Amino acid sequence: MVELPPQLQKGIKETESIGLAQVTFRVRCEKIGHGESVFLSQADNPAAGNRIPLFTTAKSYPWYTTRTPLSLALPITTSSDMVTTDKDVLYRYRYAIYRAGVFRRWEKSPDGGDIEEFRHHGADAISVHQVPMRLFHAGELYTVNDVLGVTVGPPDVDHIKVRQKFSSVSSLARKNSSNSAASLYGLNASRPASSSAMSDSGGSKKKVGFAPQPAPSHRYDTCTPTKQAVHLTSSDGLIVVSAFLPVHLTRADNGEWSADWDYEALLSMQTHLRVTRVGTVKWRGWHGNVGGGASSESGVPVDERHKVEAALRPFNCVPVWVPTNLFGEMYNGFCKGVLWPILHNVASVYSSPTGVNSGNPDAQKQIEPYDSEFAEYMMDDVAQGPIHGDGGREGELWAAFTAVNRYFTDVIIQCFNEGDLIWIHGFHLMILPSFLTRRISMAKIGIFFHTPFPSSEIFRTLWCREDLLRGMLNADQVGFHLFEYARHFLTCCRRLLGLNYGMFPDSSGGHNLAIDTNGRHVSVTSIHAGVEPPVLHQVLCHRSTVERVKSIRSQFQGKVIFAAIDRMESLKGIPLKLIALERFLQRCPEWAGKIVVVQVGISAFERGDDYTKTRNEVLSMVSNINDRWPKTVQFQECAESEMRLQQRMALLKAADVVMVTTIRDGLNLIPLEFTIAHLDALREQGSNGRKRGLCILSEFSSCTRVMRGALHVNPWKISEIATAFYQALTMSEDERMRRVSIASEFVTRVTTQRWALAVMLDLKGVQKNEDAGRYAGAGLGLGFRLLGMDSGFNSLDANSVARAYRNAKSRLILLDYGGTILANDNLDGLQRFQFVKKSRPPSVPKNRLISTLKELCSDKRNSVFVVSGKERHSLTKTLCHIPNLGLAAEHGMFVSWPTGKVGGKRRWETLVPNQDRSWRSIAITIMEVYTSRTHGSYIEETEMKVLWQYRDADPEFGYLQSRELEDHLSNVLRSFAVDILHGGVEEGGYVEVRPKGVNKGVVSMHIIKNLEKISDKGKLEFALVMGDDHCDEPMLSVMRQIGRRASEAHFAKRDGQPLAPLPATIAQVDVSSCDGYISTHLQCFTSTVGKKPSAAANYVNDVDDVHELLESLVKVTTRETVHSGFYSVVDLKSMADSTPSPALKPVLSMGELHGSQVGISNQSQARVSTNLHEFLGTIEQNDDEEEDIFF
């Protein structure tokens, strides 16, 4: 335990001894006028002399705060008083509005904005804020956050630690006051008490909160770097994108449009951020954008769009105008017909092949009056056949899906400002991040799913699975309500795309769950949404709600009411609930007539046959139950517009038990709303004899994980639901109260606003470099993906390479074999297996490539090496006839130095001693055991290494087996001089055992140190290194560091500016042993084949680009051979000072070279300039001419 400094201990004890807490009050004032100010007043002592002014700044507005913390006297308690009481000691206070220094009025509910007017329904009530004193402790600092006029519920309290490096509480207060402007920028919300305990525990793990976190209390070292806390400020912009805007539109008879918030919508919450909402509009229960007239099917008339836009402008809502038929195909056809069943783990393989409602003509006629225009989109399966996407309607629906996402993209781009966060909601816009990142790559984009996510075995049945996953991965954050859904998403990315996921470090010192894709980390968040208790309390207190509750209770007087509100589709499990009710009454007939199940069914016409089948089945079962036990089930079907928040809360308040028996469900807030409606049961324990407040929840519903006090049931096990009926009716009072209390803990702590802020903090905290050059796009269409690159990662400039090549006297060219100078044979798992088993011949270089390599090797200034992972005999067979070509086989284990002899056997030497090879038989024996129990794996043997390949095995099982094999080999072979390497699925999936100290990076250093043995060209002045995969990364990294050391030495001699540091992705290696073999003028070019994250400084697009570059170097060599009259400026200057030699050869331009028909010997001698300026001008002119011709 860390001891506090004596001065700090003394300051804390002084404050604690008198029971004072330091409290800063801050209030958000949206609607006060110009010239008005805010004062804080104690409600119990409202004298003008006791009022304290609050201040604001241009940057912190609309937040007002006290200039210094106030000392709040705490109630004195003793050990005998430490008992649980039902009533907290409250501190009551109010805010007063002054104008020109004169009291004008007290705060009132309209000051809270539109939401507060809705809550109070225009009532001009006296606003008094109350904060429980139990939240404060002596000697510590707090911040109380209010909204002017909002007094429903306790305020948000931020607990700020005092045990920091301050001498006393007063000094901390002064520190807080001096930084008051900065402290006001964060958006604050209450945190659980556990957060303060976590601060004491220390550690650098990232803290999730809604206000700037204080420094850990035990850090006194001023040299310790502090992490920048992530918090939202009033200057942050947010674009919230959803399929529908969270507003209600109304058209008057005179053609005027008006809008109002849909307070039931999850995204209608208000915040101080600069929020712009984007989505389509709903009018009369349907989405409509194009058409004439005022019918619900035709949508908003085109000539009235501007009126709708004007009505939405005060709400910061921007409509997306999509053609009605197109949106219908996307929403009902693709989203509801294809994605909805798959996301809920339903793959209807045996559906009727004739389409919608084919088996029930009457049902078809029943649906047509509701929405005949879009009836053709109401289907479970799009195309019937062995798999989805076999050629049919799915092509048109997929085109509609992508087209609607493009419509959204255009509107978002128009609304986007630099630095804004983009938050996408729902599976309707899964591919929207792909379109956005193509145009605004630096935007931080998050997508949140409110539905379940299926397992990989279900999701892989989609023909468009890769496009959907890549669309989501182009976002920076993917959010789900439960980790179960996030786990399925991670598994799909692993199994279908071969991506790795894990806990990756973030900028705050902690770790985040993320997917590693193309050099980027896509964060995965799982946070369950909540409800807004203040809004629900206002609805419950409304007069019409109270009257409706009394009506329901009187209708079923003396009975225990079980309530259920479900959509009429098979996924909601209504028939299972009714079967369980029937079984319960059969086994417990004494309860007949004492209970009633009020089942409300929401019409789901968009589900087509499924809706009709479910409806008929439910009506039949209800009739049978009521025939046997009259008035036991009260079933009512209604439209969604008839069961809004007010009607729903009335039913939930009147009910004693709520039931959710869904088979598969995403976000379901009904149990949370029910718990809020019965919070008063905790205060009325045993007062009226009602046993209310219990929830019976299916374990397949998302809220089951957060509603720990509910009765959890498996809806497929009828006996469990029947038992839950009995438990709810016979449960003891103590257990019922305990369950209600546990359930209320989540709904009161995690509100909708806190959920949204937690997700936004994670999104803002995503590490995304501000340098646009760090990100690059690759791929066409929906295959587009965002690549995370090192800064300055550009295409290799052939002109720069040729210029450096021409001026160098000593050159080194290191080339990988497969994938660099030759097409890669290992891209396909079957081809790889055939090569290993020698049932397929490998690719061989073409004559054009052979000719290019011969030309490069013929230049005495060049040292050319092909460094490959293949065996010696493979390289000898294809490249041994090229004179002066160096070869390195098996990643550098064997090296064959350049020689002019061709045709015979090449002489090879080993990079490291290889005397004891007994480890091979041991490794192979162990690998055979794992091969026998891992389907799809096999052993690959080469002359000096052994690999266990699992690229064709199940990705997860293969990876688990590889980790176990890696540990097994490490223990058994620890006494041998071998390295055990593990390549993940993206590298091919293998475990390799090879001699210690062998890789392409080591062999490249070995070649540089031995260049003097094969040539007398002096120190190295030019290097070109090219590779294509992870095996080449050590070579690219080492050579890039060697080039960096040469550049640093060169600039040090000239006292130049220091170079920018190498990217952190490059593994640092000690290359100082090569310093004596390289020139300070060395120009090193490293390039990877393909645009992807790499240790190389540049890239080329494909193998053809490699061939073109090598051929251009050959042209430079050929030109120098023909034009042997090129001299340096220094040589020419020395010649100009003396008599020109008659042996000086002429310098020809390329046009003269190709246009002349006579020999060079017959040309006139070149004129020698007499000054340096004339020489330089001539050389520069020739350089430009030559570059234009060749490059």
Q: Report the pLDDT averaged over residues 1064-1074.
A: 80
- Give pairs for 1071-1076: CB < 8 Å, separation 24+: 1071/1005, 1071/1038, 1071/1041, 1071/1042, 1071/1045, 1072/1045, 1073/1005, 1073/1009, 1074/1005, 1074/1008, 1074/1009, 1074/1042, 1074/1045, 1075/1045, 1075/1049
Per-residue confidence band for 194, with pLDDT thresholds at 50, 70 and 90: very low
Give every CB contact of residue 466 below 8 A, 6+ residues apart in sequence.
496, 497
Burial (Cβ within 10 Å: 0-12, 13-18, ≥19) of residue 954: middle
Alpha carbons 360 and 413: distance in angstroms, whole number:
46
Cross-strand partners of 54: 38
| Environment class of 941 (CB within 10 Å of its CB; exposed 0-12, middle 13-18, buried 19+) | middle
Prior bond to 575 cis, omega within 30? no
pLDDT at 341 over 60: yes
| CB 791, CB 308: distance < 8 Å | no
Confidence of residue 860 (pLDDT cuts 50, 70, 90): confident
| Strand, coil or helix: 745 | helix
Average pLDDT value over all residues in the chain = 76
pLDDT at 311: 92
Please give the pLDDT value at position 183.
Answer: 34
The pLDDT of residue 1055: 61
Residue with tokens 């919450």, as numbered in its chain: 269
**Which among 122-131, 369-378, 594-603, 909-918 has the top mean pLDDT?**
594-603
**Collapsed DSSP state (helix, strand, coil) of residue 869:** coil
Q: What is the tens place of the pLDDT at every residue in 385-400?
A: 333 444 457 788 899 9
Residue type present at position 447: I
* pLDDT for 649: 92
Whole-number Å distance between alpha carbons of 189 and 238: 18
Q: Write the Ramachandran bin of 72: left for phi over 0, alpha for psi from -120 to 50, otherwise beta.
A: beta
Mean pLDDT of 81-90: 55
Number of alpha carbons in the 13 Å side-chain half-sphere of residue 79: 0
How distant is the alpha carbon of residue 1051 from its chain centre? 42
Predicted local confidence at residue 877, as pLDDT = 84
Write the DSSP string, 123-138.
Answer: --PPP-EEEEGGG--T
Crossing angle of helices 645-654 and 543-555, rounded to 10°: 40
Sign of the torsion formed by the C-alpha atoms of 926, 928, 934 and 940? positive
Q: Give the model confidence (pLDDT) of 947-956 as tens digits.
A: 998 888 888 8
Start-to-end CA span in the chain (Å)? 69
Q: 957-1015 pLDDT, tens per residue?
A: 888 899 899 999 999 998 888 889 887 656 668 899 988 888 888 999 999 988 887 77
pLDDT at 1058: 67
What residues form DSSP beta bridges with 493? none
Does 1165 have pLDDT greater than 80?
no
Tokens of 366: 């029943």
Residue 981 identity (one-letter amino acid): L
Whole-number Å distance between alpha carbons of 990 and 953: 11
Q: Look up tokens 């860390």; give the residue.
A: 2
Q: Rounded to 5 degrees, what are φ and ψ at 21?
A: -115, 140
pLDDT for res 408: 95
Segment 31-73, tens digit of pLDDT: 777 778 899 888 776 666 678 899 888 777 778 899 888 888 8
CB contact at 8 A, 663 and 669? no
How big is the CA angle at 808 (ends 805 and 811), to the nearest 5 degrees?
Answer: 75
Q: How far apart are CA 598 and CA 658, in angstroms?
A: 10
pLDDT in tens, 251-266: 888 888 988 888 777 7
**253 or 473, which is more confident:** 473
Q: What's the token pair of residue 124?
A: 């001009």
Question: At CB < 8 A and 24+ separation, what contacts does 616-619 make?
Answer: 617/575, 618/568, 618/574, 618/575, 618/578
The one-letter amino acid code at 16 reads E
Q: For the residues 872-895, what does the mean pLDDT come to? A: 87
Chain-centre distance of CA 1037, in angstroms? 29
Say what the pLDDT of residue 956 is: 81
Tokens of 736: 């019922």
In the predicted model, is pLDDT for residue 446 greater than 50?
yes
Please tell me the distance from the alpha carbon of residue 327 to that of residue 319, in angstroms, as a whole number: 14
Using CB atoms within 10 Å of the CB of residue 984, give its burial: 0 to 12 exposed, 13 to 18 middle, 19+ buried.
middle
Give the pLDDT band of residue 786 (cuts 50, 70, 90): low
Between vectors from CA 842 to CA 815 and to CA 910, what angle results, nearest 5°?
50
Q: Is the pLDDT of residue 320 over 90?
A: yes
pLDDT of residue 85: 43
* pLDDT exceeds cutoff 50 at 294: no
DSSP track, 759-774: HHHHHHTS---S-GGG
Mean pLDDT of 395-413: 92
Quick check: helix, strand or coil at residue 113? coil
Residue 170: exposure state from Cβ atoms within 10 A (0-12, 13-18, ≥19) = middle
If you compute the radius of gyration of the chain from its CA atoms, what whole number of angstroms results?
38
pLDDT score recorded for residue 779? 58
Half-sphere exposure of 627 (CA within 13 A, CB side): 6
Distance CA 301, CA 305 (A): 7
Q: Give whichever of 146-150, 382-386, 543-547, 793-797 has the largest mean pLDDT.
A: 543-547
For residue 1029, the model assigns a pLDDT of 81
Instruction: Please report where in the chains the tokens 């299916």 appear, as a residue.
Output: 698
pLDDT at 60: 77
How far apart, in whole angstroms, are the C-alpha atoms of residue 490 and residue 182? Answer: 38
Q: What is the mean pLDDT of residues 141-152?
A: 84
* pLDDT-wise least confident of 62-71, 164-173, 240-249, 827-836: 164-173
Write the single-letter amino acid at 333: G
pTM over 0.85: no
| Four-residue CA torsion sign, 815, 818, 819, 822 | positive
- pLDDT interval class at 1119 (50, 70, 90): low
d(CA 751, CA 748): 7
- Per-residue pLDDT tens digits for 102-136: 888 888 877 765 444 434 344 444 678 888 888 88
Q: What average pLDDT score do residues 426-433 get?
A: 93
SS3 625: helix
822 pLDDT higher than 70:
yes
